[in-house]
Amino acid sequence: MVVIASVQKLNNMEKKIAYFTEETMKHLILKNVTNSRWLFRSLKAMIACKLTLVYGPYHMMSDLQSLAASGYQETYEHAEILASFLSQLIPSHPTTPSELMQTSDDYSNEAIEKYKEYKHLLELLEGDCFYPKVAEKFCKKVYKARNYYTFKAFVNLNYSIYAQVLLLYQISKIDYKTFVDQFQEINLFEQKRKPLTLSRLKLYIRTMSKVVDLYFNLLAKTKL
């Protein structure tokens, strides 16, 4: 997926990227598209965003269903250790053992809520070459696959942030300055945003390209 046409020079001290130029980014706004090449690029970027937003709750729903079916229940001793670790990891959001003590019923209820969120997003995001029927196949395939590790690891973290921000920009809900300010990763330790490094930006683009390629392969095999 081509989200970025040009990246300015790296800051030699901090090794941070400067974001895409406004001239380049305006071509990803659907209403500004002037030729078929940019139309395809814009649609691919939008589909990548929508797939990210839809797959996030699907993945969590599937994990919760597995936990509910397994009958797994956290022990207080283990929850206490884990809560202590999480509180040290993110001091601004302390965790208590009781927050981690969940039963099969708790997992089932959470899975239901994630299912509702997933189905709502499928309906909400339909359009512009994004078909719920194909997206459902995509989610099922990616969840079972072993070669989409990066996507699955970050889909409910920074990748969901990037997807929301880019999609809002593409439909003209935010301006270029807001896009640049918000298209950044969240540092969990410092609880603040920071620009992506060049290596992480390249990884994100490669990951999204792989995601979109799978979607179009499934689309070609699906009778709508």
The answer to which of 28-32, 120-124, 187-191 has the lowest mean pLDDT is 187-191
Most confidently predicted of 9-18, 181-190, 195-204, 206-215: 206-215
The total domain count for the chain is: 1
| Structural domain containing residue 63 | 22-72+106-220
Q: What is the DSSP string of 163-210?
A: HHHHHHHHTTSS-HHHHHHHSSEEETTTTEEEPPBHHHHHHHHHHHHH
Does any domain span residue 99?
Answer: no
How far apart (Å, rounded) are the C-alpha atoms in residues 87 and 44?
A: 39
Q: Which residue would you say has higher pLDDT here, 188 or 162?
A: 162
Q: Could you tell me if residue 133 is inside a domain? A: yes
* Each residue's pLDDT tens digit, 17-56: 445 788 888 888 888 888 888 889 999 999 999 999 999 9
Q: Is residue 79 part of a domain?
A: no
Q: What phi, psi does 126 have (nearest 5°)?
A: -60, 140
Cα diameter, the chain: 61
In angstroms, the CA 159 to CA 127 distance is 21
pLDDT at 57: 97
Whether 194 maps to a domain, the answer reads yes
pLDDT at 80: 77
Mean pLDDT of all residues in 150-160: 93
Q: pLDDT value at position 45?
A: 95
pLDDT at 123: 97
pLDDT in tens, 75-109: 777 777 777 866 776 666 777 877 777 788 888 99
Residue 87: inside a domain = no
Residue 7, in any domain of the structure: no
C-alpha distances (whole Å) from 90 to each of 78, 82, 156, 191, 201 are 18, 12, 17, 8, 25
Stretch among 74-83, 155-164, 202-211 having the lowest mean pLDDT: 74-83
What is the distance of C-alpha 168 from the center of its chain? 14
Burial 174-192 (b: 16+ CB within 10 A, else e): bebeebbebbbbeeeeeee
Given pLDDT bands bounded at 50, 70 and 90, which one contains residue 12?
Answer: very low
Greater model confidence, 7 or 171:
171
Q: Dihedral of the CA atoms 122, 125, 129, 133 (nearest 10)?
A: 10
Q: Is residue 166 part of a domain?
A: yes
pTM attached to this predicted model: 0.83
